[in-house]
Amino acid sequence: MLEARNITLEVDDGEDCIALLSDVSFCVPKGHFMAIVGPSGCGKTTLLKTIAGIADATDGCFVWEGRNLMEDDDFEPSEIGYVPQFSIAHDELCVDECVENAARLRVGASGQQLEELVERVLQETGLSEIAERRVKLLSGGQKRRLALAMELVSDPRILLCDEVTSGLDPRSEKEIVELLRKLSLKDGRIVISVTHSLSQLEAYDSIMVLVRGHLAYHGIPQTMEHYFGVKQAEEVYPRLSLREPEEWAQSWSKHGEAYYHRMEMEQKIRVLRNGEDMAPAMETHEDNTENQPGFFSQLITLLQRRFTLLLRDRSQLILQVAMIVIFPILVALFSSKGQEQLLILADTQSNDIAMEIQAQQAQAEVRAQVGSAVSGIIMFEVILLGLMGANNAAREIAGERLIMEKERFAGMGEGAYLASKALYLFLLLLVQSLWMFAFVQFFWPFRGDATNHLIFLILANAAMTSMCLGISANSRTADQASLLSIYLVGFQLPLSGAVLALPDAIGVCVRPFISAYWAWSGSIEGGLLPDVIKAVKSIVQTSFSAAQVCHVVLALHVLAGLVLTYVGVRRSRWD
């Protein structure tokens, strides 16, 4: 049995304290199907989130099977399922893939056990015939069924559904309500559904009516019209506006006992009608806590899913391939001039004084051209890899934020999720950086320590990718994350000091945050040949930093981005 005792939830809006829930108390027996109804803004979803533990009550407590959830341990992820209003599946995956991934992340099923579990859940929710259909092609009702299927893989004892019938046609709504009712009869499962619709109330075992956070009624559907003094259920909402919420709550506290007694009698009759006592089913309910997958199991599942999504998303895949192919070509187009000038610089010698003066003047001109070309090529590589990094990570978490929030609630580890993103992006940036280096190196052999240059290219990409991943984890929307990441890349070139010599006072303050500067400076100071370094320094007024310092700063950028990502992942944005 689930019991709520005087649940109150208050929020501070800056001036006053607003009560979203006020002294709400109720009991839900096992094998019960309950609807929560009421006008918009009455606290239906808030109550559901409070039951789930997503929102913390400021007063009162929930008692589950004799256990005080406020004082003792909260629900185990396998004990409770939550079907939110938003989609919890990736559009590019198939129905059976979504259910399979949910099973791998929540109960650690594999092999024959996994196949049987997926098949059973698909059959139970009526999705077997469309198992291979992509999520983006599903109707609203089919998406609701898929969301239910993904929750049922852990066989939860309590199933919470938030507006799962919203926006559906009458037939689909009826089918979903009937499905939820069947699920409540299995193993004595409690199913609580928030709904705006009043057309299927006879299918529920009890109806809870909320009005501005106050409990106005909780009883069987057959007595609701009598209690409110109306002829049909649709008249209840207008009736609620005739009295203050506090008055409805006081009225229920006086008269509710009789209606609760009637509900208990109906529950006993329903149990007898089913021909079995549900208590043994609840007591022998399988505990999936020990079967929850570990870190590496979840990591592998998340990585496999991420690469599947990359290959399925044609537009993103084309963009990635285009950037990997086109960006190095852009750099190579400017490399020939730098290479030729280096050769001229190396061959410029004479013993005649007049010729020597002319040669020195020519060398000065060549030195300026060489310095400009080499500096520009290196910076061009760095900036383009930074742009790749921003494209890699800007939407990575923000684009699936709600799905991630839901999977965390279902038992996915934050560490496994963060590790999957870091590993996926590292493999992606490694391919990008190696190809950029190899392609450009073929047309413009790096005049110095090529390995050092490659390391800086990888670090430059990694620093931008990591910081943009942190932005993505802390942004509310994918568009916001993309915009901020573009700004970050856009500021790299002018603030790096490669083309704009900043005053020392400003440079000292700005450069620690500009990854392009450190990759550019490290590649030149620690990688180029001495005569080429002189050529670069002859035309660049920006101060240089030692390669070792650049390594450390770029590594700190990567670390800072990962820390920022971790903070963002842990911060709940489930509104």
pLDDT in tens, 259-274: 888 888 877 776 666 6
The answer on pLDDT for 55 being more than 70 is yes
Residues whose CB falls within 8 Å of the CB of residue 274, separated by 6 or more in sequence, listed in order: 185
What is the pTM assigned to this prediction? 0.87
- Residue 260's φ and ψ, nearest 5 degrees, are -65, -40
By DSSP bridging, strand 190-194 and strand 158-162 are: parallel
The answer on pLDDT for 278 being more than 50 is no
Q: How far apart are CA 325 and CA 534, in angstroms?
A: 32
> Taking residues 533-544, what's their average pLDDT?
80
> Taking residues 492-505, what's their average pLDDT?
65
The answer on pLDDT for 342 being more than 70 is no
Query: Is residue 8 classed as helix, strand or coil in its secondary structure?
Result: strand
Q: How far apart are CA 505 and CA 518, in angstroms?
A: 18
Where does the pLDDT of residue 284 fall: very low under 50, low under 70, confident under 90, or very high at 90 and above?
Answer: very low
Q: How far apart are CA 144 and CA 167, in angstroms?
A: 11
> What is the predicted pLDDT for the residue at 70?
82
Under 8 Å between Cβ of 393 and 469: yes
Q: Kindly state the tokens that stand for 61.
A: 């407590």
Q: How far apart are CA 333 and CA 363, in angstroms?
A: 24
- Token look-up 């008269």 returns 255
Using alpha carbons, select from 241, 236, 238, 237 the residue that is nearest to residue 224.
236
Query: Is residue 272 classed as helix, strand or coil in its secondary structure?
Result: helix
Query: Is residue 483 classed as helix, strand or coil in its secondary structure?
Result: helix
Number of CB atoms found within 10 A of residue 422's CB? 18
- pLDDT single digits (tens) 407-431: 999 999 999 999 999 999 999 999 9
DSSP 8-state class, residue 34:
E
Q: How far apart are CA 565 and CA 575, in angstroms?
A: 19
> What is the predicted pLDDT for the residue at 66?
85
- Across 158-314, where does the E strand assignment appear? 158-162, 190-194, 206-211, 214-219
Provide the mean pLDDT of the chain: 86
Under 8 Å between Cβ of 278 and 31: yes
> What is the predicted pLDDT for the residue at 290?
55
Residues present in the chain in total: 575
For 111, counting Cβ atoms within 10 Å of its Cβ (0-12 exposed, 13-18 middle, 19+ buried), the class is: exposed
> What is the predicted pLDDT for the residue at 283?
43
> What is the predicted pLDDT for the residue at 312?
94
Where does the pLDDT of residue 501 fall: very low under 50, low under 70, confident under 90, or very high at 90 and above?
Answer: low
Q: How far apart are CA 345 and CA 368, in angstroms?
A: 11
The residues facing 83 across adjacent strands are: 161
By DSSP bridging, strand 67-68 and strand 59-64 are: antiparallel
